[in-house]
Amino acid sequence: MSFLKRVFPFNAEQTVNILSEFGPLVTMFIVNAAAGINNGTRALIVSTIIAMVVMRWVLGRFPVFPIIASSVTIVFGILTLVTGDPMWVQIKVSIFNALFAGFLFGGLFVTSPTLGRYSMFTVLGLFLIGGALQAPLVMSAAAGQWSSLGDSHNPLFANLLCLGSLVAGFIVGTFFKRNFFGYVFEKTFHYTQEGWDRFTYSFAWFFIFTAFMNEVVRQFFVAETFYAVPLMGEMNGVNIWILFKIAFIMPISGIYAWYLTRLMQPYRIDGAAGEQAGAMIPAAGSGQGYALAPARTNPPRSTQG
């Protein structure tokens, strides 16, 4: 393996996918800093559509994961423009990542003989712990310190929405009855079944981590309030959230994807064997045996919604 391949283990199509995801985000950040959140949101929507057109032209198809992520981005971007509330474009990351983490866990539950039960207990544990942590907010709401539960600025509303997305994703994932990453990316990455399971389980946890961190920053730094930021001067909550996305979420996502890909090397199989093995996935609910799955050609991309 060449030095370049070891350092940057992504092919041309994967690189196009990564750039197509981060490009709209960077565009939004720049326009938002110059012209405000509404114009930044419009730039996000337009650049997302352009990115999809470019991907269709370059790759000759619309990959599954970009379609899902871009559709969610456009919907929540429109909600921000209609309501004038930046909360929607901010919370999109939390909802999408919680939903997709649950989806990945659900797929593992019905396909993985080694991580299936762990996935179910993970979702159950996260739901119970997350629900228990809402007790102080419930008491505050009962005491009249917060507005109604239907108010989007009530933190209880956002937290329950994220927990509900996790459970909903898990339920949908069990009906999908496949390891999503193994099913979609089998033509690009060639791993053993155990490798795909570990890859998926690890990424699901990373989605949980980024959703949690997004909510911590979003809820702690109120959108309309200004804060003194070292070396940056005064910034309102939205700009701090944007800085967090640029300086933390985007770099750590790329580093984690690269690091996990390197850790998966022991589970790699050669391309020819990979295509043959990729067409065989665990039979749903059996824990043993395999069922035929149609070949897919979608390349992988970054993890952020």
Q: How far is CA 110 from CA 16, 137, 171, in A?
A: 32, 35, 11
Mean pLDDT by 10 residues, the chain (305 residues): 57 63 74 78 86 76 71 86 85 91 95 92 95 82 58 76 94 90 74 90 94 91 82 81 83 85 83 44 32 36 44
- With a CB cutoff of 8 Å and minimum separation 6, the contacts of 259 are none
In a domain, 299, yes or no: no
Give pLDDT, residue 102. Answer: 96
Give pLDDT, residue 281. Answer: 36
In a domain, 181, yes or no: yes
Structure-token pair, residue 158:
């956002």
Give pLDDT, residue 4. Answer: 55
Q: Which residues pair with 292 in a beta bridge?
A: 280
Within 13 A of 166's CA, how many CA atoms are on the CB side? 27
134, 255, 253, 119: which is closest to 197 by C-alpha? 119
In a domain, 297, yes or no: no
181, 192, 195: which is closest to 296 by C-alpha? 181
Give pLDDT, residue 304. Answer: 46
Give pLDDT, residue 72. Answer: 83
In a domain, 111, yes or no: yes
129, 163, 185: which is closest to 303 by C-alpha? 185
Say whether 203 sits in a helix, a strand or coil: helix
Are 73 and 44 a contacting pair, CB within 8 Å? yes
Range of the domain at 112: 11-292
Taking the C-alpha atoms of residue 257 and residue 228, their distance in angstroms, rounded to an integer, is 33
In a domain, 219, yes or no: yes
Are 22 and 250 a contacting pair, CB within 8 Å? yes
Residue 183, amino acid: Y
Taking the C-alpha atoms of residue 98 and residue 105, their distance in angstroms, rounded to an integer, is 11
Taking the C-alpha atoms of residue 58 and residue 55, their distance in angstroms, rounded to an integer, is 5
Are 245 and 28 a contacting pair, CB within 8 Å? no
Taking the C-alpha atoms of residue 225 and residue 13, their distance in angstroms, rounded to an integer, is 42
In a domain, 51, yes or no: yes
In a domain, 300, yes or no: no
Give pLDDT, residue 21. Answer: 66
Number of domains in the chain: 1
Q: What is the CA radius of gyration of the chain?
A: 20
Q: How many CB atoms lie within 10 A of CB 25?
A: 19
Give pLDDT, residue 296. Answer: 38
Does pTM surpass 0.85?
Answer: no
DSSP code for 237: H
Give pLDDT, residue 213. Answer: 94
In a domain, 208, yes or no: yes
